[in-house]
Amino acid sequence: AQSVTQLDSQVPVFEEAPVELRCNYSSSVSVYLFWYVQYPNQGLQLLLKYLSGSTLVESINGFEAEFNKSQTSFHLRKPSVHISDTAEYFCAVTQTGANNLFFGTGTRLTVIP
């Protein structure tokens, strides 16, 4: 069985400060890992994903996440946040041969001016 843990339900951070949103997963097999973002009143959008290869993956808007197999983590980071980054962020995992995604409970990032 797989599960995803996002320990922080809410993360307030000042504008231009760095942020890290934590994600840990449990799985006994190979996995693919995803971060999705949900802006207010909108659907989920893929932010970035890890499939294989380099353990550090980046998005076009400055976010990055690093796959750490030994710590079973896929934390999301950004060195300098903007007001527009305020949203709900979901970490998700799927087995490489499976069909569906398992989501964490989400982390609400609030950027304070």
User: Contact between 70 and another protein (CB under 8 A)?
Assistant: no
Rule CB under 8 A: choose which of 55, 61, 96, 110 binds another protein: 96
* Shorter beta-carbon distance to another protein: residue 13 or 106: 106
Q: Which of residues 34-53 bind another protein (CB under 8 A)?
A: 34, 36, 41-46, 49, 51
Phi, psi of 38 (to 5 degrees): -125, 110
Task: Output 40 or 113, the one with its CB closest to another protein.
Answer: 40
DSSP class of 98: -
14: buried, middle or exposed (CB in 10 Å: 19+, 13-18, 0-12)?
exposed
CA angle 69, 81, 112 (to 5 degrees): 125
Report the interface residues with another protein, using CB under 8 A: 9, 32, 34, 36, 41-46, 49, 51, 90, 94-106
